[in-house]
Amino acid sequence: MAYSMHYRGSQLNNQPSNDAAQQQSNNNINIVLLGKTGVGKSSSGNTILGGNRFPCGRSLSAVTQESTVQRSVIGGRSVSVIDTPGFFCTNLTQEKLSREFARSVFLSSPGVHAFLFVVPFGRFTKQEEEILKKVTKVFGKDVLKHVILLFTYGDECIRENMDKEIDGNDVVRRVVQSCQGYHVLNNKDLTDRQQVSDLLMKIDSIERNQGYYTNEVYEWAQKWPWEQYWEMFKKFFKAIIDFFQNVAKSFDKNHWRNGFVYETLKNV
């Protein structure tokens, strides 16, 4: 079973970026990086953009504390990459983390073409599957129409064997099947622009089939707790209605039974 799509593209050129995402046109791509702290999100952003744009490196604390955007012109196209704080980032409160995720969508205005769920190759655990569930809670279920699983440490894997390895791991297979496939990046080789070209082609395929993830979709996703309360509200009143209907049925039955007994005794 093959999950990855293989493409061939022209050699990519890079030009300096600005600090804000350019308004989207048919020739632009907006990408948001998601994942735990230390999985290589910032490094992947640098690989895609072809230079050291995002600060990264090993640290006891998360390097990325807020959502930031960098942009390059790649093959004549404006590519914006938004780096985000890691899920479970211990340096940020839950409220601050939620604001940063909202900000990542705002920086991609008017929409995100692809969310790259970054996971180091060989370090995929059940927790990653749980993180993806958290992603759907934050951004809504429709976000999965725009998520690509991005494996880092591509220098440590044999790419030709990836499909087979995914098939052999139930957790990874479920995650890949729930997303729009996967991609592998070697962040140690910024000169390998073919791997970036292949990724952009996959993102183009998502846009053709799914469109892009908009601010309005995100705002609607934030209403899910109220939807949950509404469902609880409906269940509560349904339970009340069912209760009184059962009482009414029981009353009718008892009334009929008592009437039957009365008529029987009267005729004795």
Domain ranges of the chain: 28-221, 224-268
Sequence-distant (6+) residues with CB within 8 A of 82 are: 21, 30, 31, 32, 33, 67, 68, 69, 104, 107, 108, 112
Q: What is the mean pLDDT of residues 107-124?
A: 89
Between 99 and 54, name the one with better pLDDT.
Answer: 54
Residue 196 has pLDDT above 90, yes or no: yes
pLDDT at 61: 54
Please state the pTM of the whole predicted model.
Answer: 0.72
Q: Which residues is 237 bridged to in the sheet? A: none
Q: What is the pLDDT of residue 193?
A: 93
What is the model's pLDDT at position 58?
Answer: 63
Give first-to-last CA distance, the chain, whole Å: 81
3-state secondary structure of 147: strand
- Residue 183: closest CA among 170, 194, 168, 169: 194
CA atoms within 13 A on the CB side of 233: 6
Choose between 236 and 216: higher pLDDT.
Answer: 216
Instruction: Please tell me the distance from the alpha carbon of residue 235 to that of residue 254, in angstroms, as a whole number.
Output: 28
Quick: pLDDT tens for 18-31: 333 333 445 789 99
What pLDDT shows up at residue 21?
39
pLDDT, averaged across the chain: 78
Return the CA Rg of the chain.
26
Write the pLDDT tens digit of every residue in 128-183: 888 898 888 888 888 999 999 999 988 888 888 999 999 999 999 999 999 999 99
Could you give the C-alpha distances from 20 to 14, 78, 81, 106, 253, in angstroms and in order? Answer: 17, 12, 10, 11, 72
The pLDDT-based confidence of 231 (bands split at 50, 70, 90) is: low
Q: Is 16 left (phi over 0), alpha (psi -120 to 50) or beta?
A: beta
Q: Which of residues 48 and 251 earns the better pLDDT score?
A: 48
Show the 3-state SS of 58-127: CCCCCCCCCCEEEEEEECCEEEEEEECCCECCCCCCHHHHHHHHHHHHHHCCCEECEEEEEEECCCCCHH
C-alpha 65/C-alpha 68 separation (Å) is 9
- DSSP, collapsed to helix, strand or coil, labels residue 214 as strand
The hierarchical CATH code for the domain 28-221 is 3.40.50.300
What confidence score (pLDDT) does residue 205 get? 92
